[in-house]
Each structure stands twice: as C-alpha cells, then as structure tokens.
Amino acid sequence: MVVKSYFKNFLRRHYVGDITENGEYSEDNLLLLAAGVSTVDVDTDEDTEDYEYYDGNGGKETETTSSSLNHQFSGNRKYGDPALDFVRSKLIKTSDRTVSFKVVEPDGTILKGLATITELKPYGGDANTRAEMEFTITFLGQPTEVLAGEAEPESVSVTSDTITIAEDETAQITATVAPAEANQEVTYTSENISIASVDNKGLVTGNLAGATTITVASASKPSVTTVINVTVTD
C-alpha cells in the first residue's frame, strides 16, 4: 500500500558504514546518522545538453546526461556517537573515504550504494557553543533504488541458460526476478554484438557464427545478474 501524507524530515533515515574487503556495498555495519544532525540538504548535481530542432520551432530541449546525488549534513558533533565517530575517522584518510550509504524515506523507499565523504569539517564554532560538524556524502554513480512496497531483488532467472541459433535467426529470453514482489524490469547486455545482439525486450538475433554471452541484470539492483551462453551457427 502506498502511503499518502506529508512527512517531516526527521522521519527520513540515513545510514553510513564500511565497505567490504572487496570494495562492495555492505549492510553489515551500517550506523544511523541522527545524533547531533540538525540539517540535511540534498543536491542533484546534473550535467545537461541543450538541443534545438526545426520541428520545435527552434525552441530548446534539455537532456540530462548525468547526475550525482549528494547529502550535506550539518549540526553539532556528539563525541562518542558511532556514526559521527566513523565519519570523523575519515578526516585524514583522503584515499579511503569510500563508504556504504543508505537512505530510507518515510514511505519506505530506499536508496543505497557506494558513496564518498567530502568537505569534512570535524569541529568549529564559537567558544561557548557546541562544536559544529559538517560533511557531504555523495553516491558514486546512481544508487540502487527500492520503491516503497517493493521487495529488493535477490536473483534473476531465465528459462534457459544456453541459446543456440543460426545466423539471422532470433530467440526470446524470458527473465524473472525473485522475489515476485520485486521490480520485474531487467536489462540485457551482449558481450559481443557482432556475434549476437539483444534488444531491450530480450529478443536475441544471431549475427555471426561464434559464441558470446548475454548478461541479464535487475534494473533496480544491477549487481543481481545471470548470464546466458549464446552460440550462433552458420
């Protein structure tokens, strides 16, 4: 059920923590960023390209070519708070600021992924006030998004993990994301399109005799994939 309401900002939760030894996102040691935090400003740093066409009477069309999502935290330093201490530990580790970052909106929508800490100011302010602290956490690339009411994708399965077709023939991939409550949208990528190409609906076309692979990935969580071995005969 989709919740319809206005929510106050403090109901949004932000978590930060270490990455795995392999440099991947991890939920094992996420820490709640809340103590001492008074303001979280969010910014989408976007790159755009403008186009003008005759059929638009010369008017401008704007395409967003890339974007990054950053969260600017400010407030007071609460010494001993695990999350703030973790952020503070990155002060002089300029080459080791990649972290796991997760945002849970009040309606249950989740954004999560690798991120980096920048603009870290661990203390400051007037002599008779509480020490101030500021830092920015920016997702690296696009985060994984799990919409409210959806389950997080756990696996992708296909009807067959091998396809054999002749040149100029086609075959259809049917993919299913588990659990059933997860977003069922997937993407298809051919390792070698000169041998076999695949469209966004999963239709494979044999182009040249040889062997290649097609990766089927969850659109909501691209790290969840399965691979199909494709052989094209002449």
pLDDT tens-digit series, residues 52-63: 988 888 888 898
Q: Is residue 204 over pLDDT 60?
A: yes
Mean pLDDT value of segment 36-50:
92
Which residue, among 145, 97, 140, 96, has the nearest Cα to 118 in the 3D structure?
Answer: 97
Residue 168 reports pLDDT greater than 90: yes
Q: What is the pLDDT of residue 92?
A: 92
pLDDT of residue 233: 96
Q: Given the structure tokens 């002060």, which residue do they identify? A: 91
- Cβ distance 32 to 15 under 8 Å? yes
- In this model, does residue 125 exceed pLDDT 90? yes
According to DSSP, the β-strands at 162-166 and 225-233 are parallel
Which residue did the predictor score with more confidence, 221 or 127? 127
User: Residue 232 pLDDT > 70, yes or no?
Assistant: yes
pLDDT level of residue 164 (50, 70, 90 thresholds) = very high
- Tell me what the mean pLDDT of segment 145-151 comes to: 81
Write the pLDDT tens digit of every residue in 181-190: 888 999 999 9
Percent above pLDDT 70 for the chain: 98
The residues with which 188 forms a beta bridge, in sequence order, are 216
Tokens 């603009």 belong to: 119
pLDDT score, position 2: 54
- Across 89-114, average pLDDT: 92
Range of weakest confidence among 61-65, 123-127, 196-200: 61-65
Compute the distance between CA of residue 38 and CA of residue 212 in angstroms, rounded to an integer.
Answer: 53
Mean pLDDT score, 23-52: 92
Instruction: Quote the percentage of the chain above a pLDDT of 90.
Output: 70
What is the distance between the alpha carbons of residues 224 and 160, in angstroms, rounded to a whole number?
Answer: 17
Confidence (pLDDT) at 3: 59
Which tops the pLDDT comparison, 63 or 74? 74
pTM for the structure as a whole: 0.68
How far is residue 190 from each of residues 6, 29, 141, 181, 187, measured CA to CA in Å?
44, 36, 22, 27, 10
